[in-house]
Structure 1
């Protein structure tokens, strides 16, 4: 069934009343690169899909394609625009070329928890340059959330910038690669599902990763040291629907998808924050050294990374990057 027919079916069902119509709408094809066991999927994507299906009495249903089944992590946006998918949970930093302003979340030293960062992102997705950039890319943002601040996972303790010199560090996108370079390391972009093997085989010396996401990739099995209080950047997800499809849905369906998206964003952020304490205790029991960076180490790292924001503005260019960075800073300053 082509997209036009699908939209007509959805519209007819909602127009005449879902309960009165025995016909079930076609499912929307939703892709992402997370596994179904990942906290982002359990408390985010899956939770939202179920809530939307229940709230619309089955007028909107989903076919879920997790773990890169429909498209690789860097191809999710193209898959939506090309009609392979209808909806995608975009890992925004994988699409920095098409969504450069949205990569602001990757800058180090801003939000201190997933809940704080998610509240800031949700505000910026409602109106302004981040939303406009997604719309220009052919998709409508339904909701967004962030992972907890990135920490460093390695086979040795990494503290001050001197410890990082010439190491190959897994980073997510160009913004985080700048963070690695600011400390003298080399940023290497490798999709999440491939990181385990890269560390195990010695292709990577360390990984910048949010702690709540570690179990989803079992990285605790291949590292021995994990920092707990660093601020090496962030990562954002945006649930996006192809704009022509979304605009063809009835207004009440659109509103319900967004309302439930807002609730899901808040929920998945808190779930991630809550999970970290238990994970740290578990890893300690496994013999992993989880450590706080000292005040001197944090000061040295901040000094090394302070130019990343300026470099980001220069690379992105235009007044938009300056406005976005100032807005992001104001929303994450408390």
Structure 2
């Protein structure tokens, strides 16, 4: 009788052990198969090139790389808040991922907001985007600009250099800008505009058509692809080709809280998709800008600058960079600048 009881107890223990192992295995499997749905927002519409060529393919690629484990809910056109508030909404976990224009956050992004925006540095977006995408994921930029604000960059890009456009006045050399009101993106752009003897007027991209049309600003500084997307070609009557008055560093940032809550394969996918889409879409935007600019030149809306005129702009670029760098007291800014300049020289 005692033997039967001992045998029964042993069988129960074995069954409990087997059940426990199976249950444990099921829990691990369930964890691996958990679906993560991330919110993502931008300040552009679904028809804008950045939405069509970067955001949508990025979401699709991450979902593909994770076999459907990471899904997205997309909120374009500032549906979840104004673009200037994106960094705070992401930091606080209201939004998981948001589009950032670095120069919109000069206080939060003291390095990224101006580093690639300095005039004369950027040649093409396609050439410098991989370097920028790599640099913002490294210290000192990663820690100073992103992690300290509770966000992390997963995709970084640089636009083709900005040029200058008016509703009539011809701009060929820096002296032509004196006394004019120029669209200001803040930071180093403000320093550049003031150095040129002009007045900086801060407006957002979404407000630039009306501001340009009503004379709130005399000069728009941007690049053709975005200007064309916002129908600015209807207003532009004169512009430069080759002034290279800055560029825009931009991309996608994720909440660090969200990032830490994702499994390793999802993090890897977010970075990999960022690398792939930064490279492919920067080329698309460069090509689109060149195509738009070519059309504007043929229509007489844009002037291709002469070698002599370009040299005058290059001289001003050097002066502006020197003035801006003299203002930067944080040694980490100088460290980041030296890193970028070294990488640019390696590319060239």
Same fold (TM over 0.5): yes
Give the total of aligned pairs.
Answer: 319
Alpha-carbon distance in 2 for matches of 1:242, 1:13: 30
Alpha-carbon distance in 2 for matches of 1:205, 1:38: 25
Alpha-carbon distance in 1 for matches of 2:260, 2:189: 34
SS state of the match for residue 249, structure 1?
coil
Cα gap change, 1:92 to 1:13, in 2 (>3 Å): farther
1:95 lines up with 2:105 in the alignment: yes
Matched with 2:131 is 120
SS state of the match for residue 306, structure 1?
helix
Matched with 2:140 is 129
Alpha-carbon distance in 2 for matches of 1:240, 1:267: 18
Deviation at 1:179, TM superposition (A): 1.5
1:239 lines up with 2:239 in the alignment: no
Alpha-carbon distance in 2 for matches of 1:151, 1:290: 10
Cα gap change, 1:252 to 1:14, in 2 (>3 Å): farther
Deviation at 1:15, TM superposition (A): 5.0
Q: Deviations over 1:250-283 (max 9, x none)?
A: 0011001111110000011111111123213433
* Equivalent residues of 2:66, 2:265 under 8 A apart: no
Matched with 2:21 is none
Residues 1-334 of structure 1: pairs in structure 2 closer than 5 A = 15-16=28-29, 25=35, 27-103=37-113, 104-133=115-144, 134-155=146-167, 156-284=169-297, 287-333=299-345, 334=348
Structure 1: gaps of 5 or more residues: 1-11
Q: Deviations over 1:93-118 (max 9, x none)?
A: 10111110112111000121011220
* Equivalent residues of 1:35, 1:216 under 8 A apart: no
* Equivalent residues of 1:151, 1:229 under 8 A apart: yes
Alpha-carbon distance in 2 for matches of 1:312, 1:28: 38
TM-score by length of 2: 0.86
Alpha-carbon distance in 1 for matches of 2:297, 2:325: 39
Deviation at 1:17, TM superposition (A): 6.3
* Equivalent residues of 2:155, 2:274 under 8 A apart: yes
The Cα RMSD (Å) is: 2.2
* Equivalent residues of 1:183, 1:305 under 8 A apart: no
SS state of the match for residue 136, structure 2?
helix
Alpha-carbon distance in 1 for matches of 2:195, 2:81: 32
* Equivalent residues of 2:236, 2:301 under 8 A apart: no
TM-score by length of 1: 0.89
Deviation at 1:215, TM superposition (A): 1.7
Structure 2: gaps of 5 or more residues: 1-24
